[in-house]
Structure formats: structure tokens, C-alpha cells
Amino acid sequence: MTRLMPAITLAITFLAAAAGLRYAESAGLIGPDVAQRVVQAMIGIMLAGFANMMPKRLGSRRYSPEAEARLQLARRVGGWSLTLAGLAHAAIWAFAPIDAASLAAMAVVGSALGLTVGFAVWACTRLGKGSPAGTASGS
């Protein structure tokens, strides 16, 4: 439960901020595009934060050392690409015209996701001859 609490806290904070922005928009304190931009920028920053933790989350060693090295390499590439995509998503929503921001942000995050999945498949099938499904004990 302790690993879940930061995520729950972050989700509650995010929802409270979105509700506060919606209220500020309905009260006329901010324009309609400001609320959308802030929420989308927060989404990009959250993506960058979670992607940055991706290569740091190591599980128990279940595979051969070669397979573990390939999996960690895939986590690093995925972490880098999705972190940069999250930061780009936030920057696009902060500075780009509202009409172009949605498409550009989706293209950036989609490209990073495609790179991550493609590299993971390549790393786990092409690098080395060891099977990623083999156990470290050899059984």
C-alpha cells in the first residue's frame, strides 16, 4: 500500500487542480484556453516524471543476465524517449497555438511510444542469443 500512496496523492492533487481550474474558468478568472493548457502541461510533466522512474524500477532477477541487460537497455531507452516526450508535450501546450498543440503533442508522444515499443521488441529479440524467458538458474 505504501508504494501506491504517492500515486493516489498525485491523482487527487491533479483532480483538485483540474477542478480548481474549471471553477476559475467558469467564474471568469481565466480564459478557457488557459485551463486546457495548464491541465495538458500537467499531463506532460506527469508523463515525464513517471517515465524518468521507468529505468530505476528494477524487479527481482527472473531471467538470465543477458536477458536482464537487454530488458534494462529497453527500459533506459523507453525512459529517455518518454521523458523527453512528456517535456515536449508540456512545452507544446504551454507555447504552441491551441489549434496545433493537440495534434503536435499527440504526434510527439505517439512517436516516443512507438520508439519505445519498437526498441523493446528489437532489444529483446535481436540483441544476443539468450532467451529472455530463460531463468537465471538455468532451469
Query: For 87-97, b where at least 16 C-beta lie within 10 A, e where not — what string?
Result: bbbbebbeeee
CA atoms within 13 A on the CB side of 97: 2
Per-residue DSSP letter, 112: H
Mean pLDDT of 51-66: 77
Which has the higher per-residue pLDDT, 105 or 58?
Answer: 105
**Which pLDDT belongs to residue 125?**
82
Q: Parse the chain into domains and list their residue ranges.
A: 5-126
Q: What is the pLDDT of residue 122?
A: 87
pLDDT at residue 139 greater than cutoff 90: no
DSSP annotation of 136 reads: T
pLDDT of res. 135: 45
**How does DSSP assign 3-48, residue by residue?**
TTHHHHHHHHHHHHHHHHHHHHHHTTSS-HHHHHHHHHHHHHHHHH
- Predicted confidence (pLDDT) at residue 43 exceeds the cutoff of 90: yes
Q: Does residue 128 carry a pLDDT above 70? A: no
For the chain, the 3-state helix, strand and coil shares in percent, each to the nearest 5, are 75, 0, 25
pLDDT value, residue 137: 44
> Which amino acid is it at 61?
R
Centre a 10 Å sphere on the Cβ of residue 133 and count the other Cβ atoms it contains: 10
Contact yes or no for 50/109 (Cβ under 8 A): no
**pLDDT at res. 127:** 60
pLDDT (mean) for 86-115: 95
* pTM for this entry: 0.78
- Selected residue with higher pLDDT from 97 and 67: 97
